[in-house]
């Protein structure tokens, strides 16, 4: 893969089998305005079923307020949200 140092613009090739992309410390929710309840760090507050404060809207992964942010918990949250949504639609 090719990586770029955003400060210097220098690019270099890195041979690897996989990568985790770090996209910053603040979730990008700008497109949604302020409709979601967020914690003091800007992450969406959800219940145990991944429901937001907006009826019928679920959130999962790295935008959710939680202690650990990693791919495994994001996949888990997505599963919980999809199962809860399926129950609501049934």
Smallest Cα–Cα separation from 23: which of 72, 73, 63, 53? 63
Calculate Rg over the CA atoms of the chain: 17
Position 69 scores a pLDDT of 64
Query: Per-residue b/e over 77-89, b at no fewer than 16 CB within 10 Å?
Result: beebbeebbeeee
CATH architecture of the domain with residue range 26-89: 3-Layer(bba) Sandwich (3.50)
10-23 pLDDT tens trace: 999 999 887 766 66
> What's the pTM value of the predicted model, to 2 decimals?
0.57
In what helix (H) or strand (E) does residue 79 lie, and over which residues does it extend? helix 71-89
DSSP 51: B
Position 22 scores a pLDDT of 63
- 5 φ, ψ (degrees, to nearest 5): -80, 115
In the chain, what are the domain boundaries? Answer: 26-89
24-36 pLDDT tens trace: 667 888 889 899 9
Position 18 scores a pLDDT of 79
């Amino acid at each position: 893969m090719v990586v770029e140092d955003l400060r210097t613009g220098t690019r270099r090739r890195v041979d690897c089998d996989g990568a985790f992309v770090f996209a910053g410390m603040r979730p990008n929710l700008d497109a949604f305005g302020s409709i979601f309840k967020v914690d003091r760090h800007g992450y969406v507050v959800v219940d145990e079923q991944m429901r937001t404060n907006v009826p019928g809207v679920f959130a999962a992964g790295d935008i959710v307020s939680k202690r650990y942010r990693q791919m495994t918990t994001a996949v888990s949250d997505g599963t919980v949200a999809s199962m809860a949504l399926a129950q609501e639609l049934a």
